[in-house]
Amino acid sequence: MLTFLPTYRALLLALGLPAAAATRASAQAAPPVIGADSLVHVAAGPQYRRGWLHQLLWGFHYRQEWATPVTVPVLNLRTVVPGGLKPVKEGGSFQTRNLRLVAPDGRQYVLRSVDKDATAALPEDMREGWIGRLMKDQTSVIHPYGAYIVPRLAQAADVYHTNPRLYFLPDDPSLGEFRQAFANQLYLLEERPEGDQRQVSSFGGSAAVTSSKNAFQSLVASPRYHVDARRYLRSRLFDMWLGDWSRREDQWRWAAFPGPDSTVVYRPIPRDRDHAFFKFDDGVLTRIVSFVKTNYQTFTRDIKLHDVEGLNRAARPMDKSLLVYLSKDDFQQVADSLRRALTDKVIGEALQVWPREVYALSGEEFRQKLQSRREQLPRVAEEFYRQLAREVEMPGTDEPERFVIEAAGRWQAWVRVYSLRPDGRNGRLIGQRLFDARQTGSIRLFGLGGNDEFQLIGLPDRRLRIHLYDGQGQDLVQQLQVPPRATKTHVTVYDSGDGNVLKVEKGLIDVESYQPKANEYDGAGWLLRHRLY
């Protein structure tokens, strides 16, 4: 049969690559017939069905789940919420197409396409070629209904979450200008976590939900703002349990709550579970790629410790900043609590929300994997802590702080950070942590903005390498309680020469002149580390 095909297309098929006709199959198919009961029977992605050779080379993935028709309700924009929903804005990332909707009471919702298209990241002239078709084909690494089971799991885990509902959006005239682009597709409809969400318990009932950019701007502007670190850690361990490796800053929203003394605490709202339950390395060529792209973590029964770094690479800047004051015991306590909360019953109930056709394909596989990965959470948390503890970065804010480094005997030193009052006394304790050189090789303290103070009480164990970066403002660095017959430490002061006062014994502490980098100079620069500026 191949002899009757054009040479180029025959070569693609021989290599197991997707031919153009196959990838356009779903676009050419007629939309499903909507019955009187407002239900349709439709497949999320029949175009991902492939022959055995293609699957052997490029992965079996979740192709069956994409190609299997499921029964879903039809979305009626006029009745889905009281007063209906009005489309107002198209959005989305490089893969997911979003349509923002507004209810009469001002609450916002989002339709997120079940099908994805990563080719938007390519130059236009490559999107229709074999590279573009191959990228589109790899959408099958994502479970089309994976995000649908997360809310029940997150509720039991005490992790904030959106509440996606699966719908088929017909060719509805009320779509207006968005009709051609969005009609006749499967979507997840969920609340948009932004603004006043006091009516949404899964966002904590916060009156002020904001973006990562806004939250981090506040965090680096003033010590009055801080993150609930244990709750963030709980969310991150939950991510690892789901195998969700794409947790960069834009994948989060933050629920703000008033704290004591006019402070504000942010609690995390993870969103966009497109990369949870990833299945990538089950093809000859995709397995080879996974050796290079170690962040492409496949959802397996075991969370391998050597894969923890890749699993968390996208979120590493956030993890280093937001978990810096938590101890090893904190990590273990949160992991143990999460493991107890995710019972077999919870897992079983969550999987039952799938359409029966999907459950028949994935239910038992997911049950076994989720139960097995749950039991590994304590050791994963231990490895997660170990990786973060090796090299620590502790930022201040653009207001004055006092960093106190106090020797605590062999191997150990305390670091405490206080807000600095106008009269020179310590204000609120921002955070503290006991460091051990057997876990931590280096500690870097960044004053960022404001006239900060760095106090060295005693001489820390020289096996701890401590680096003090002044940043913006005129800072004071001083030694207190220097013991007799002291020996040289591994403390280095980086002096930008903008009027700092150094009261240190240079025979015991190194002082180096330096030009601050943009991402260590002030709060705005620090946002560069988080891709938010």
| Edge-to-edge strand list for the sheet holding 391-395 | 391-395, 442-446, 465-469, 491-495, 510-513
What pLDDT is recorded for position 14? 42
How far is 108 from 197, CA to CA, in rounded Å? 10
How far is 454 from 334, CA to CA, in rounded Å? 32
Q: How far is CA 422 from the centre of its chain?
A: 38
Tokens representing 493?
């002061």
As averages over each run of 10 residues, the pLDDT of the chain (533 residues) reads: 38 49 49 76 94 92 96 94 94 77 94 84 68 86 94 97 95 92 94 94 96 96 97 98 94 96 96 92 90 88 92 95 97 98 98 95 97 97 97 96 95 96 93 96 95 94 94 92 83 91 90 91 91 82
How far is 125 from 278, CA to CA, in rounded Å? 28
The values of phi and psi at residue 505, to 5°, are -90, 110
What pLDDT is recorded for position 93? 60
Q: How many CB atoms lie within 10 A of CB 477?
A: 24
What pLDDT is recorded for position 154? 98
236, burial (CB in 10 Å: exposed 0-12, middle 13-18, buried 19+): buried
- Side-chain-side CA neighbours of residue 100 (13 Å): 12
Tokens representing 405?
């480094």
Tokens representing 296?
């492409």
